[in-house]
A and B are shown apart, each in its own frame.
Chain A
Amino acid sequence: MQILLLEDDPELGQFVQQGLERLGHVIDVLRNGRDALTAALSNDYDVIVLDRMVPELDGLSVLRSLRSAKVNTPVLMLTAMSTVEARVDGLEAGADDYLVKPFAMTELSARIGALCRRGRTVDDPTSTVLTAGGIELDRMGQHCSRNKQSIVLSAIEFRLLETFMLHPGRVMTKNMLLERVWNIDYDPTTSVVETHISRLRAKIDKPFDSNVITTLRGAGYRFDA
């Protein structure tokens, strides 16, 4: 993937660059908003990562300029500000995801992976029926079946599976699942995610030959079909 990173902290910038390059991505690191805006307008990136607090032009302004220039590249905002207001500001300005510092490298790479549209195996994220690996998920009728066998899922299990199937082959961290399924931006400290994943597995994996949900230790979960 071609990634643009706007980060003025040299250590953090280096850390992120090395981490992402190790995963096979190509990174352009820029230290101030003006340079980043120029780069984003002249090159084609798969994902753009913007830190909010940078010199010359802050990340939010860069984002707004990009969006008004009709640049629709997915953008992930990095920031130390964890308030709801800051998050809402970022998303309203056109960001696709928002990550609060300090973060784990696995979290960042998982989210970048989820944002990247290249090689997306889900043709139409808005379609009412999702299919993969023999699983059919009817989002309108709230039905689920695997290999034509009907499976009854709770509302939460349904949403979990739906989220996985919208990002097949991508790592979904606990935080990402909490945000998308439960709309929670804090750490609930109870094993909410694990509990419901194991319930989902009991229904969708256990009775069948192959597992679609894989646990990646230290990173999160992945749906493979």
Chain B
Amino acid sequence: MLEKLTRLRRMNALRQAAILSVIFMGITAIAGIALSEILRNSIEEEMHEELSETATYFLGALPRTSPDRLFNDLQKTFSEAYTVTGYRAADGKVYGDIAAGVFDNSGYTRIQQADLFSGDVLKEVEAAVLKEWDTEDRGHEGKGHDEYEEDLIGADEELNTLVTWFVYVVPAEGGRLAVAIPDFTVESFETLLPDMLLATGFTMSVLVLIGGAVFGFLAQMKFDRMRHGLERIAAGDLDHRIAPVRIRDDVDELAVTIDHTTKRVQTLVDQVGNLSVNIAHDLKTPLARLHVLLEEAETPGAARDDHIHAARTQLDQVISVFDTVMRIARIQSGLHKSTFTRIDLGELAATAAETFGAVVEDAGQTFQLDTSKAGKVLGDEPMLMQALGNLVQNSVRYAGTGAHVTLWARGQAIGISDTGPGIADKDLVRAVEPMVQLDASRSSDGVGLGLALVKAIAEIHKGSLELSNAKAPAPQGLTAGIYFNAR
């Protein structure tokens, strides 16, 4: 149970809904209060206007008519406009039904019903109101005596709502004139409006909360699915993907991003796996030779110095391998700091030709530089030089004596083509795996890291290393190229 409550507490959609509903209720409360105030003021103004108009009429009539005739009795009042008028003459005599004390006020005031009317008049007022409601609003024809009394009691309670009156008192012809209107319209507004708004706000809030909970549960189901998927991946199943087939919202987009990340992790893990297995496998040869040479150096009568020198050569080899492996790993993981500059591939090829042309020729091969239509790329020059060096090294080693080696730069690509035996088509992909040596019978010291390093360098330039065999009718040969802005 506690767990369920915690999940509820953490539900994002529900939290948002709760915040929204609080805001909503706040807004409706403030709106209610504001509206109420505005309405009250506006109604008050209207009331004042009506009072003023009535007063003006009576002020006009007073000089010409006697107060006796002017000030209507209650019956008439209630059957017409609910307006009550009164007059206190200079000598103190009161005409109409308004209590004497009321005339001491001035201007607009609000007065309780009990204070507005004189004692017995009040009873008459109540009776008149009752009668009025009795006949017009209550529809009592044909009802029995008990029900009638109940209705009266109900009406009595209603009467108590007519507790306040608006009163306007002005001096008139030596005396004072008073005009009064009941305040019930304003009061019912005062209670009705906030109630309405509160009810609306409350209902909306409940609906929003329910909506939030529903969306929250739906989202949680989605997150639970994603979580289970991720747990599987964490347990080692790197092939598992969690994104749904149709991408509908940003949560689905997040799942797509997670899948990309998983794929990248899978690639990196595979690479590391390859590297580790192959290091172990391929370092065995130089280390074994090292062991043999040192053993032989120990035997009496052996040419110790020569053996030790040869052993050191093997050891240098091993160290060099580790350095290259480290370099590949650093480049692949993005740790190697590279400074990218604009490089003219033609110039790069020409610089490389200065160094490697001689090496190729000394190996009994012919060398050519082809930089027609060479383009420019953004790259790290030392890294690219090292890559080219490795490609040349492969040609020198495997293309055979008399082969022709061309260093070319074309558009956004640079590479080496030779006229050697090439690599069997089925082996072309394997060739770039670290440590692969395709010709198992070869006794040369070369370890197949060269191409793996070139591949890593190509990839950090957002390019690719592509190997291809020359097609007939051209002589057989291997082309190894770095293609920037890879396809």
On whether the beta carbons of B358 and A199 are closer than 8 Å, the reply is yes
Docked-complex contact B393 and A189, CB < 8 angstroms: yes
Chain B residues positioned under 8 Å from A154 (CB to CB): 354
Closest residue on chain B to residue A181 by CB atoms = B355
Is B324 an interface residue when CB atoms closer than 8 A count as contact? yes
Contacts A188-B393, A190-B392 given; does A195 touch B354 at CB 8 Å: no
Count of chain B residues with Cβ under 8 Å from any Cβ of A?
A: 27
B360-388: contact bitstring with A at CB < 8 Å (1 yes, 0 no)? Answer: 00100000000000000000001001100
* Closest chain B CB from A8 CB (angstroms): 22
Which of A155, A183, A184, A186 is B323 in contact with, Cβ under 8 Å? A186
How far is A111 from B394 in the complex, measured between Cα atoms in Å?
A: 31
Q: Are B354 and A85 in contact (CB under 8 A)?
A: no
Question: Is B362 touching A191 in the complex (CB atoms < 8 A)?
Answer: yes
Interface string of B447-477 (1 = CB under 8 A from A): 0001000000000000000000000000000
Nearest-neighbour CB distance to chain B for A190, whole angstroms, equals 5
Residues 395 to 416 of chain B near chain A (Cβ within 8 Å): 396
Q: Does B337 contact A (CB under 8 A)?
A: yes
Chain A residue nearest to B392 in the complex (CB): A190
A84 touches B393 (CB 8 A): no
Provide the bound-state CA to CA distance between A83 and B446, in Å: 24
Interchain CB contact (< 8 A) of B354 among A84, A104, A156, A189: A156
> With A and B bound together, what is the CA distance between A189 and B396 in angstroms?
11
Chain A residues with CB under 8 A of B337: 83-85
B389 / chain A contacts, CB cutoff of 8 Å: 188, 190, 192
Tell whether B11 is near chain A: CB-to-CB under 8 Å.
no
How far, in angstroms, from A186 to B390 measured CA to CA in the complex?
12
Instruction: Say yes or no for B263: interface residue by CB 8 A criterion.
Output: no
Residues of chain A within 8 A (CB-CB) of B228 are: none
Tell me the minimal C-beta distance from A196 to chain B in angstroms.
6
Query: Which residues on the A side are within 8 Å of B323 (C-beta)?
Result: 82, 186-187
In the complex, which residues of chain B have a beta carbon less than 8 angstroms from the beta carbon of A186?
323-324, 327, 386
User: Cβ of B309: which chain A residues have Cβ within 8 Å of it?
Assistant: 218
CB <8 Å contact, A102 and B386: no
Q: Is the CB of B355 within 8 A of A82?
A: no
Q: Please tell me if B359 contacts chain A, counting CB pairs below 8 Å.
A: yes
Given the interface pairs A85-B337, A186-B324, A186-B327, the reply to whether A192 lies near B355 with Cβ below 8 Å is yes
A208: Cβ under 8 A from any B Cβ: no
Q: How far, in whole Å, are A186 and B322 apart by their CA atoms in the complex? A: 11
B336→A190 contact, CB < 8 A: no
Q: Is B27 an interface residue (CB 8 A)?
A: no
Determine if A215 is an interface residue (Cβ-Cβ < 8 Å): no
- A15 contacts chain B at the CB level, 8 A cutoff: no
The residue of chain B having its C-beta at the shortest distance from the C-beta of A187 within the complex is B320
**Taking the complex as formed, is B319 at the interface, i.e. its CB lies under 8 A from any CB of chain A?**
yes
Tell me the chain A residues, 78-116 only, with Cβ under 8 Å from chain B.
Answer: 82-85, 102, 104
Q: Which residue of B lies closest to A191 (CB)?
A: B359
- Tell me the smallest distance from the CB of A140 to a CB of chain B, in Å: 20
- Residue of A with least CB distance to B354: A156
Most B CB contacts (10 A, CB to CB) among A155, A187, A198, A218 go to A187
Task: Name the A residues within 8 Å of B319 (CB-CB).
Answer: 102
CA distance A154 to B309 in the complex (A): 33
Cα-based distance from A187 to B385 in the complex (angstroms): 13
Residues of A within 8 A of B362 (CB): 191, 195, 198
Residue of A nearest to B315 (CB): A102
Q: In the complex, which residue of chain A has the Cβ closest to the Cβ of B324?
A: A186
How would residues 302 to 319 of chain B score, 1 for a CB under 8 Å from any chain A CB and 0 otherwise?
Answer: 000000010010001001
B326 touches A82 (CB 8 A): yes
With the chains together, A22 CA to B386 CA distance in Å?
Answer: 37
**Is B24's beta carbon under 8 Å from chain A?**
no
Known contacts: A186-B386, A187-B320. The answer to whether A196 contacts B358 by CB under 8 A is yes
A84-B336 contact in complex given A155-B354, A183-B382, A195-B358, C-beta closer than 8 Å: yes
A190 surroundings in chain B (CB, below 8 A): 356, 359, 389, 392-393, 396
- Tell me the bound Cα distance from A12 to B326 in angstroms: 24
Apart from A192-B359, A195-B358, 10 more pairs, CB < 8 Å: A104-B312, A154-B354, A182-B355, A183-B382, A186-B323, A187-B316, A188-B389, A190-B359, A191-B359, A196-B355
5 cross-chain CB contacts under 8 A: A84-B336, A155-B354, A189-B446, A190-B356, A199-B358
Binding site for A on B (CB under 8 A): 309, 312, 316, 319-320, 323-324, 326-327, 330, 336-337, 354-356, 358-359, 362, 382, 385-386, 389, 392-393, 396, 446, 450
Per CB-CB distance, the 10 closest pairs between chain A and chain B, nearest first, are: A187-B320, A195-B358, A195-B359, A190-B393, A195-B362, A188-B389, A190-B359, A156-B354, A85-B337, A199-B358
